[in-house]
Structure 1
Amino acid sequence: MSTVAPTVTGGKVLLLDVGLNVDCKPEVLAQYGIIGSIYAQAMLGIRNPRVAVLNIGEEETKGNAQSKAAYELMKESEEFNFVGNVEGSHLFSGQVADVIVCDGFVGNTLLKTVEGLFRINKALKIPETPFWRDMNYEYVGGTPVLGVNAPVVIGHGCSSALAIKNMILTTERCAQTGVTAKLQNAFKN
C-alpha cells in the first residue's frame, strides 16, 4: 500500500509501504523503489523521481540491519534515482525525495500520526490550507495497492461519499495511465 502526501513546495511525495507488509526484507524495500518510481512517473508526472529510504538519519551507516541492507541494494540499482536516506522530518519538504520507502509497520505508524495531526488541526479550528486539505483522506480518496494485477485502491472503513468518489477517480486514473501494466513489465524478468 502507498499513499500520496502533499509537500510544502506544492508537489507530492509517495510513501510506501503504509501497512500491507509490516516485516519487509531489504529486497522488498528495493522493489518498492522500483514500484514507487514507476508510480510517481505515471501518476504524479515526476520525470525522474528521487527515491529514498525512511531512516533515523541521512548517513549511509544509520539505521537497523534492514534499512542498511536496503540502502546497499538501492544504491547499486540502476532502475531508479536513489538519493539515500531521508529522515521523517523531511517527508513533506519536497526537497529531498519524491518517493520514500519503508516497511508497512513504520509507514502505517507515520500515516496514522499524520492523520492524527489533521484531526487536531480540525479540532483546533485551524484554517484549512491547500497543504492540510491534501492531507484529508476524503480528498485523497484511498490508498493504491501497487504490484497487483489490476488497479486496486482501498480506503478507510469510515469513508464518506466524497472519499469513495475520490477512490473511484484514483482507480480510474490508474487504469488510464496504465500504471499496472508498467509495473508488470518492470517485474517480468
Structure 2
Amino acid sequence: MGTNRKEEIILTTLELAAEKGLAGVSMSMIADKIGIKKPSLYKHFSSKDEIVEAMYQFLRDKSKENANIKPVDYSILFSEKTAYEVLKGVMQGYINMNHQEQMLTFYKVIYSERSIQPMAARIVAEETERMIIATKQLFYAMEVHKLLHFENADMSAVSFAMTVHGLMDYELDQKYGYDEAPKNLLDEYLKWFCEQNYVEAGD
C-alpha cells in the first residue's frame, strides 16, 4: 500500500505540475486531488521538492524498464557493429527512454522552470552529468575495442554529450513548434563524429 500510495502521489503531482507549473502546486492541492488529508501526505514525503526528486527517479527507472535498457555488456554491444551503428543504437535507447509520455511531461515541466526553480535546474544538471559519465565510459570502451580513436576521450565525451543533448532539444522544439518533420541533424552529427574519430590502420 505504501509503495502504491507513493506512486499515486508522484503521478498526481506530475499531472498538477503539467497543468499549473511546479510553483503553482501545493501540498494541500496534491492531498485534495488524491482525496487524503495533508498530514497523510507528509507521512510519505516531507516536501514538494522531495516529491519531485522521487518523481525523477521513479520515472527514470520506469522509462528504462519500458525501453528495455539494461546494464551494458560492451562486447555484446559492439559485436559486428560499426562505430556509427553503436552510437546510433545507444542514442536511440536514450531517446526511447526520455520520450515516453510521462517522462516527456516531466521534462517539459522541469525545463520550463529551471530558471526559477533551483530543484528543476538541479535535475536538469544531474541528467546532463549522467549522460556525460555514460558517454565517457562508452568512449573508453570504444577506444579499447578500436572502434573509434580520441585525442582526449574525456573532452570528446563532454562535447558529444552536450551536442547530442542540444540536438535532441532542438528536434523536440521543432516537433512542437512546427508542423513540418524535424531536420535529422542528430543522425548527420553521428556520421560526422565517427568520420572525425575513425581508427586509422595500425592505430
TM-score by length of 1: 0.30
Point out the structure with the larger helix share: 2
* Structure with larger RCO (C-alpha < 8 A, sep 6+): 1
Which structure has the larger Rg over C-alpha atoms?
Answer: 2
Point out the structure with the larger strand share: 1
